[in-house]
Amino acid sequence: MRIIVGFIAFLLSLQFLSAKTAIDVIPCPASVVVSEGKLSVAGARCKTDSRLGKTAVAAVKDFEENLFRASTVKNGKSGLVVSFEMASEMSDEEYSISVSEKTVVVKASSLKGVLYAIETMKQMLPVAIYTGAPAPKEDWSLPCVEIKDKPRFAYRGLLLDVSRHFFDVEQVKKYMDFMALHKLNTFHWHLTDDQGWRVEIKKYPELTQKGAVRKETIIGRWADKKGFDGTPYGEGMWYSQEQIREVVDYAASKGIEVIPEIDLPGHMLAALATYPELGCTGGPYEVCRWWGVSKDVLCVGKESTMVFLENVLSEICELFPSKYIHIGGDECPKVRWQSCPHCQAKIRELGYRDDINHTAEHYLQSYVTKRIEDFLATKGKSIIGWDEILEGEVAPDATVMSWRGTKGGIAAARLGHDVIMAPNTYCYFNYYQAKDQSKEPLARGGHTPVSKVYSYEPLPDEMTKEEKSHILGVQACMWSEYITDWGTLEYMLFPRLSALSEVQWCEPENKNYQTFIRKMRHMAKIYEALGCNYATHIIN
Ligand code: TNX
């Protein structure tokens, strides 16, 4: 017994030692070589090569101010200068940090490299670095270390659904702060859906008047049969174009690109309720009060519907500098099209027929996707669509976002299309995090604990090297049917976002779930410093 206790104590001391010297950074850097010695950065100043750009200079300044305020007593001085140098040979998202007993040198070639180096250093310092709250008694030393880092995947995304429940500009910015903390670089903004239209379109102001508001909202799930809450939702819950620009600029300063989604031709009830002539039956329609899939979709047989879409998308292209526009394409039932004279005439005109794989109506959706792709190409944009766009005939240059598991993604890569993996089986943050649902906030269903997110390998063995090269990256989705408020959103996000970031950033050989769990002890302190709500199943 004594031996066992002694052995456990020994193991614990090892753990303690390693906790002191390990670089507990999430996501884990590609290469970390720790050597003897350390260097105090208390009261240090920073200097930045101006070739790294104004935004990088400002980000370093911000870091410097927090470091100075948090680490030094009044008038504290230190001769140390943390130097941010230009390394033009590095790729866009790459950086290095080199700490000796006398110097700290950071190298990068762009804003993103600088931002990622700062995030890494912040995680190596006491959590007061996040707030700048004075903490002069903390240990502000960095171990002597050589860190060389760059991401595994170029696309590291996170979706926010603001249609089902709305999150305001300040909250959206905070969401992006969380992304930046984890080195994510793409914010997928799901701006429209059946339950509310949330982006101002100058040509159709009614979309955010009528289309933003639902009469009431279902309580709980359909199956619960609890009825509706009787309370209108959504008035004023939309972003003006000015606010959209503000968010896009804010994102850019954090190294994040914003990809807007206008979900079409399904998930369009908010638009149909506003302009019933956009539908096959002419309505009346109402902004959806429940969750699920509506049979009523855009009537794509009418040319006027295409004009509407082009007008909306023209304004969207003006607002978002991203290369991609997400055009949805998911969950579009075909029943209305089957009995719509306009849609059937279009099918005849285009010569579509049912075949063993698809119906003529599937091909009709492909036609819409292709037309929108061609239209957006005239604006220099490419499309992303959910994996349903593979049904019928996939638009030639479309990037496919695989959400119904990974099958669609694999099939698309085989066809030579670029792919973003966002499988609901691993990456849906609206699913439960724990088996015992009774203690969890009401959710969509599913079971996606942190370990499951962490275990996701986006490049399955069954794919060839060439096919793998089409997987641009990974995204998690935060669908907000049951996420009614910010506190719940944070709870559903953390710590799964931390796990996701290692899937997106780290080479498989640098991933280790046990190490990740250990690192979460420090990350949890960061969540707390930032005042975040988080799920504690794997912490403590
Ligand atoms: C399916 S994922 C949807 C969303 C829902 C989600 C709920 C996708 C492309 N469509 O509209 O919010 O399930 O999990």
DSSP characters over 147-196: EEE--S-SEEEEEEE-SSS---HHHHHHHHHHHHHTT--EEEEE-EETTE
Cα distance between the two ends of the chain:
26
Tokens of 143: 């171990």
Q: How much is the CA Rg of the chain, to the nearest whole Å?
A: 25
DSSP sequence for 463-527:
S-HHHHTTEEEEEEEE--SS--SHHHHHHHHTTHHHHHHHHHHS-GGG--HHHHHHHHHHHHHHH
Residues 181-198: b if buried by 16+ CB within 10 A, e if exposed: bbbbbbbbbbbbbbbbbb
Nearest CA to ligand 1 atom 12: 479
- Determine whether 387 is an active site residue: no
Please indicate, yes or no, whether the overall pTM of this predicted structure exceeds 0.75: yes
- Determine whether 193 is an active site residue: yes
Q: How far apart (Å, rounded) are the C-alpha atoms in residues 424 and 330?
A: 13
Which residues have CB under 8 Å from 49's CB, separation 6+?
84, 85, 86
Count the residues in the chain. 540
DSSP bridge pairs for 355: none
pLDDT for 17? 42
pLDDT for 9? 47
Nearest CA to ligand 1 atom 9: 330
Q: Establish whether residue 330 lines the binding site of ligand 1, counting it when its CB lies within 6 angstroms of any ligand atom.
A: yes
Note down pLDDT in tens along the chain; length 540 residues.
Answer: 555 555 554 444 444 444 335 689 999 999 999 999 999 999 999 999 999 999 999 999 999 999 999 999 766 778 899 999 999 999 999 999 999 999 999 999 999 999 999 999 999 999 999 999 999 999 999 999 999 999 999 999 999 999 999 999 999 999 999 999 999 999 999 999 999 999 999 999 999 999 999 999 999 999 999 999 999 999 999 999 999 999 999 999 999 999 999 999 999 999 999 999 999 999 999 999 999 999 999 999 999 999 999 999 999 999 999 999 999 999 999 999 999 999 999 999 999 999 999 999 999 999 999 999 999 999 999 999 999 999 999 999 999 999 999 999 999 999 999 999 999 999 999 999 999 999 999 999 999 999 999 999 999 999 999 999 999 999 999 999 999 999 999 999 999 999 999 999 999 999 999 999 999 999 999 999 999 999 999 987
pLDDT for 142? 97
DSSP bridge pairs for 475: 157
CA of 440 to the centre of ligand 1 (A): 20
Burial degree of 266 (CB within 10 A; 0-12, 13-18, 19+): buried
Find out whether 472 and 399 touch, Cβ atoms under 8 Å.
Answer: yes
Minimal CA–CA distance to 270: which of 222, 237, 319? 237
Tokens of 468: 């793998």
State the catalytic residue, choosing from 49, 193, 200, 490.
Answer: 193
Q: Which atom of ligand 1 is nearest to the CA of 193?
A: 11
State the catalytic residue, choosing from 138, 146, 206, 331.
Answer: 331
Q: Establish whether residue 429 lines the binding site of ligand 1, counting it when its CB lies within 6 angstroms of any ligand atom.
A: no
Which residues have CB under 8 Å from 307's CB, separation 6+?
none
CA 265 to chain centroid: 23
Find out whether 171 and 532 touch, Cβ atoms under 8 Å.
Answer: no
Q: How far apart (Å, rounded) are the C-alpha atoms in residues 117 and 108?
A: 8
pLDDT for 3? 53
Q: Which atom of ligand 1 is nearest to the CA of 331?
A: 10
pLDDT for 19? 38
Q: Establish whether residue 479 lines the binding site of ligand 1, counting it when its CB lies within 6 angstroms of any ligand atom.
A: yes
For 222, other C-beta atoms within 10 Å of its C-beta total: 10
CA of 331 to the centre of ligand 1 (A): 8
How is residue 286 annotated by DSSP?
A: -
The pair phi, psi for residue 386, each rounded to 5°, is -65, 165
Q: How far apart (Å, rounded) are the C-alpha atoms in residues 425 and 163?
A: 22
Q: How far apart (Å, rounded) are the C-alpha atoms in residues 198 and 107?
A: 41
